[in-house]
Amino acid sequence: METKVNSKAIIVTFMIGAFFAILNETLLNIALTELMNVFNVDAPTVQWLATGFMLVMGVLMPISALLIQWFTTRQMFIGVMSIFLLGTIIAASAINFPMLLTGRMIQAVGTGLLIPVIFNALLLLYRPEVRGKIMGTFGLVIMFAPAIGPTLSGVIVDFLGWRWLFITVIPFAIFSILFAVKYLQNVGEVTRPSVDILSIILSSIGIGGIVYGFSSAGEEGAGFTSARIIMILSISVISIIAFTLRQLKLDEPLLDVRVFKYKSYARGIILFVIVIMAMFASEIVMPMYLQGPLGYSAKVAGLLLLPGALLNGLMSPTMGALFDKYGPRKLIIPGTITLVGVMIFFSNINPSVPMWSFILVYMVLMLSISAIMMPAQTNALNELPKNLYPHGTAIANTLQPIGGALGVSIFVSIMTQSQANYLEGRGAVTAELANKAMTYGVHHAYWFALALGIIAVIIALFVKKAVSPDFDDKETPAESRG
């Protein structure tokens, strides 16, 4: 007799855990300057709290496909949330920077493994025709948590101190674990595939090197011309090629790259990466421009970006419901065309732009991203058979930090190099000249973004509604069993 599945209890458990784990990604960003003073470290060192977090997540994502098949849903969720809680406690009680960094990296282990576990379970729980709404609801958490992170962080640091960035998370992490112990049920089957150590080593070197290389290239003073960056990226690319070739030969691959033979999956993931690049890069470049030529303070710049970030999260459930009703094309095609329009605006931005128009255009950018990202990812995963769900979700989640690091590094590198070219031979650098140079650099960076947007429009024209090979009209959806 089939055990009834309480899908509502499961998704509530997931949302509680995911909210605070993902919130923690951006919660520390605005406190980095404070932490430099507290622990007497320089900017490149303190930046490891952010770069290292993303690096650990990137390395663990491919391994998540294996772990999901080795452990039950309950074991994975309770385990990764316990790891996250341990890291949070260590960070909250840190007496020096190495201890804080250690806690932060342990947090990253929990966060990095949590999202693939959740996505895989949701794919197994819900039929394709309602996944848009469910993924959209979960997308609300994914988008809303990092959106409020910097604002919430600023308030906590100003009134309570940096330790409370971690202390406030601890009770919610404990509650999430206790809630899961009581209500979370297992989804899917444990198959325990063989473990290929060489694949784990190759993926760790490849993914870790790519994330670290691109992140380092995006930092001031680095760049793609650095011999060290070239060496790191070269070794990483070779490792990824070797990893891919090995997966094609294994009977039980660590990460089955054959998912890309499914056209809807391949197109959806390319769109997903393009949007991630544009979003992450804009979240870095735009605050820099707001604080530079436009002359706003860091807090005001954050508040100007907040309406767009909140709109992105709030529209995610709506976009998911529209995806279920109308399919991907009626969302993704208008979304990519709108994205191109926003890139044209930003590629012509100047210091005379009024505040209201910037806020409005940034909101339109985030609206277009919500119309593309979750529908593209959901449609991509819908085409896969059930046995490839762990691999499809792992690859999508692996590409998120890679796409983010890639977008930031390319945008910042183009911007800084264009600034340098503009200032070359112009004599003493005045404030006015520096602002013109940065405007020039931002224009060039968004020309690259415009090219990405055009590619996205072309791909969107070929997107079709994916049909799952593992669901038919006679199969009872999981949500009706709980």
The confidence score (pLDDT) of residue 337 equals 94
Taking the C-alpha atoms of residue 224 and residue 139, their distance in angstroms, rounded to an integer, is 33
The confidence score (pLDDT) of residue 43 equals 66
Element at 466 (helix H, strand E):
none
Residues 6+ apart with CB under 8 A from 31: 153, 157, 162, 165
Tens of pLDDT along 10-21?
777 778 778 877
The confidence score (pLDDT) of residue 12 equals 77
Q: Please give the average per-residue pLDDT across 77-99, as a whole number.
A: 91
DSSP-derived secondary structure for 293-347:
TT---HHHHHHHHHHHHHHHHHHHHHHHHHHHHH-SHHHHHHHHHHHHHHHHHHT
The confidence score (pLDDT) of residue 220 equals 47
Among 152, 147, 154, 149, CA closest to 363: 147
Under the banding of pLDDT at 50, 70 and 90, the label for residue 48 is: confident
- Give yes or no for a contact between 87 and 114, defined as CB atoms under 8 angstroms apart: no
Q: What is the mean pLDDT of the chain?
A: 80
Domains contained in the chain, CATH given: 1-193 (1.20.1250.20), 259-473 (1.20.1250.20)
Tens of pLDDT along 350-364?
888 888 888 899 899
The confidence score (pLDDT) of residue 477 equals 44
The confidence score (pLDDT) of residue 89 equals 94
Taking the C-alpha atoms of residue 48 and residue 55, their distance in angstroms, rounded to an integer, is 9
Taking the C-alpha atoms of residue 209 and residue 425, their distance in angstroms, rounded to an integer, is 36
Which tokens in the block code for residue 115? 């999202």
Burial class (CB in 10 A: 0-12, 13-18, 19+), 165: buried
Pick the residue with more confidence: 41 or 7? 41
Tens of pLDDT along 94-140?
899 889 999 998 998 888 888 888 777 777 777 777 777 777 777 77
Among 155, 274, 222, CA closest to 416: 222
